[in-house]
Amino acid sequence: MKQLIRLTILFWTCAGLALTVVAGPEPFPSGKEMKQVAPAPMPECNWSGFYIGLNVGGQFGHAEDKDLDDYNFSDKPWGYDESGVVAGGQVGYNFQWNWLVLGIEGEGGYMNIEGSGLEPDRFLQRNDTVGKSDSDFFTTIRGRLGFAFGHWLFYATGGGIGVNWETRVVDNCDTGNCGLGLIDAHKTEFDWGWTGGGGIEYMFNCHWTARFEYLRYQLDDQTFSGVNTFNGLRYSWRANAEGNIVRGGLNYKF
């Protein structure tokens, strides 16, 4: 009987050891494991980094021509409205320190400065001389100073603007009140000037940003000339242009 009891105890002891080996030791609970593990925080969006994007909008402004050699016996400038489409692409870099954002941006694209107006002839009251403006390629290089509030950025910007600008004065007697002169004075030149303005930009997904921007610009004066086919003399004019750019843009930040 004693032998049977010993064998029974030995059997259950071996069975318990076998189950322990198969199942593995039960770990002791710790205070850390009993606490709920908090999810990792989402990274905070930051404006620092390179970006590239596209923009589209319009421009409107005013251009003036001045008769320098009394072609129509007038030394006073005359002006006309001009407007057109603006579209292009930009690349830039921002650096954020706390809420302050500093950046630099360059762009290139198409801007149409298109307009025309009659030169008033105050001596003989002729009205067949027309001043014209047109353009195609443009570029700007600007600095940016902004204030970030979460996903919003409010910024000012300023720098230089260059435009492939065509200025022209044409007298071809298309109207009934013509003078003796016939001339086609024109010049196309890449002209620089200044630009400045500001905008609002919003960041979503920490990589994409959308913006609305306003820029004021003024181009340097451009002098051009042509030969009067009636008397063979050369006459000159000076042109200038200023305007406003209103546009939207979309950027991807790396």
Looking at residue 128, its pLDDT comes to 78
- 16: which DSSP letter? H
The letter for the amino acid at 184 is D
Q: How far apart are the first and last CA of the chain?
A: 84
> Phi and psi dihedrals of 244, rounded to 5?
-130, 140
Looking at residue 77, its pLDDT comes to 87
Identify the CATH class of 50-253.
mainly beta
The letter for the amino acid at 14 is C
The letter for the amino acid at 67 is D
Looking at residue 4, its pLDDT comes to 35
> Phi and psi dihedrals of 74, rounded to 5?
-140, 130
Start-end of CATH 2.40.160 domains in the chain: 50-253
Distances (CA, A) of 240 to 116, 125, 178, 232: 13, 24, 26, 26
Looking at residue 230, its pLDDT comes to 84
pTM for this entry: 0.79
Looking at residue 176, its pLDDT comes to 56
Per-residue model confidence as pLDDT tens for the chain (254 residues): 444 344 344 444 444 444 344 344 444 445 444 455 555 444 578 999 999 999 999 999 999 999 998 887 767 789 999 999 999 999 999 999 999 999 999 999 999 999 999 887 666 666 678 999 999 999 999 999 999 999 999 999 999 999 999 999 998 876 556 666 789 999 999 999 999 999 999 999 999 999 999 999 999 999 999 999 888 999 999 999 999 999 999 999 99
Do 252 and 53 form a contact (C-beta atoms < 8 A)? yes
Judged by DSSP in three states, 3 sits in helix
Closest CA to 172 of 132, 208, 218, 220: 132
Looking at residue 154, its pLDDT comes to 98
Looking at residue 34, its pLDDT comes to 43
